[in-house]
A = this chain, B = another copy of it.
Amino acid sequence: MNVKIKDSQLDKFFNPASVTVIGASSAPFNLGATICTCLREYIKFPGPVFAVNRKGEAVSGCPGYSAVADIPQEVDLAVIITPAAVVPRFVKECGEKGIRNIIIESAGFSEQGTDGTALQSEIDGYARRYGIRLLGPNCLGVLDNMSRFCCFYGAYQEIMDVFDKPGGVSYVIQSGGVGVLIIESLMDDVQGINKMVSIGNKTDVDEADLIEYFSGDNTRVIAMYLENVMHGEKLMNVARRVKKPILVFKSGRTEEGTAAALSHTAGMANNDAVFDCACRQAGIIRLRSISEIYSLPKMLTEMPLLRGNRIAAFTNSGAFGSISADLMVEAGLRMPRLEPATRERLLKIRGVFNVNNPVDIGPAPPQVYLDIFEILFSADEVDGLLLMSSIWRDFVIDVIKEVVKMCKRYDKPAAIYTPNSVGRIISVRKKFNLPLFDTMEEAVRALVVSHEQFRYLQKKETRYGADN
């Protein structure tokens, strides 16, 4: 199959010139209508949007038709949100009309037993017959922050704030709830969303297709929430070649979690140990908690990669040095003993309590902080920094700004946690656009993940060349 043709077809999910919403009507609580409203009123979609419903009535300013064939123009993308039973008929009508991209947001397919599975097979048949790419069924659709397109059903005005903050992370999610959580959380963070695709039961387009697609656009980090993997080899083959960081959180590690996932998005049970092993071989980073899907990407976009595992910790309170040393060692990072030359340089600075690693200081002016960081960054035995200073004076914020610059200069990352209340951390992160983590655990995980990506990238470059 020619990859380029495939890609350009996927394009129309993200940047269609014209859209029809099948199942949008003016009945109360109609979900299709929320998509029309979103396109027309919230994002002011520039192309034509048509509604298809029994009465052929207009919806939220979108002209209405009672059959797809009646739409008087060419249509790039159809969004279907009708009862499951009539979806196959509409897929067929779309095929006849020449529509080659369909998003089926309706539920009631393979996630609901044999009848649903039969319906899903029927739409698959039409898709094959007409060369249609299908997204879903049982999904939320697509959000593209670059083309400013969104066909999420039930999207409310607040969600649209996402368009004020485009970014580099593209998400593949098998849950609308997780999508909304990500959108809301990233509004308080330094990174933004590039694209978000809800894949639902993924009868056609799946995470592997999207990784392939994101490898060729302006995405910088690919992050996924998966409830199941249907085509493991396809996923792993793509992941092996793609050099952008690929992060995945997968539910269904236990029997109970799998059972819950099955009734949500169908799929199949996966052996978690096998999946884990496959990820490591293919260079996919596995996340440990769902919050990492929005908290960790900033480490990969705002900081150089961690090239080794030797970390110098810095703190203005001895306790955090001890607590973080436990965390780092348990996570497989190393806390190297500082070389005599480094220790000697540190000893010359007033106010340093401890020239071991972790470096521990008392109340000190900003220059002391900066002098210490210069020494640590320039030390050959240090690959990266864990910075833990509470914001006990405003100048600590300025110091952190300088650290971010130093990281670029020395090509070494710093994971930054300020031992303050999470509320305070979030407010400083937003106001000063600093890559702060909510907890020490997150900061340590960010270092681990950064180094994991560094090692995967090396492996991929050895195998496929640096420019591929």
Residues of A at under 8 Å CB distance from B? 154, 174-178, 180-181, 184-185, 187-188, 225, 227, 251-261, 263-265, 289-291, 315-323, 325-326, 328-330, 335, 354, 356, 358, 360, 363, 390, 392, 419-424, 426, 438-441
Contact = CB atoms under 8 A, between A and B. Distances in A.
Contacts of A392: 180
Nearest to A321: B260
B177 A330 contact: no
B319 A177 contact: yes
A188 B420 CA distance: 11
A195 to B, nearest CB: 19
Nearest to A188: B423
A251 B188 contact: no
A175 B319 contact: yes
Contact of A422 (B154, B185, B264, B315): B185
Contacts of A358: 260
A330 B261 CA distance: 16
A207 to B, nearest CB: 15
B289 A326 contact: no
A225 B260 contact: no
A175 B317 contact: yes
A443 to B, nearest CB: 12
A422 B421 contact: no
A264 B321 contact: yes
The 6 closest A-B pairs by CB, nearest first: A177-B317, A175-B319, A264-B318, A257-B326, A260-B322, A261-B322
Contacts of A264: 318-319, 321-322, 360
A441 B445 CA distance: 15
A252 B322 contact: yes
B227 A322 contact: yes
B263 A356 contact: yes
A257 B322 CA distance: 4
B330 A260 contact: no
B422 A326 contact: no
Nearest to A249: B323
A326 B256 contact: yes
A188 B315 CA distance: 24
Given A181-B419, A184-B420, A360-B264, A253 B175 contact: no
Contact of A290 (B316, B330, B440): B440
A181 B260 contact: no
A147 to B, nearest CB: 25
12 contacts: A177-B316, A178-B317, A188-B421, A225-B319, A227-B319, A257-B323, A257-B325, A259-B325, A263-B360, A289-B441, A290-B440, A291-B439
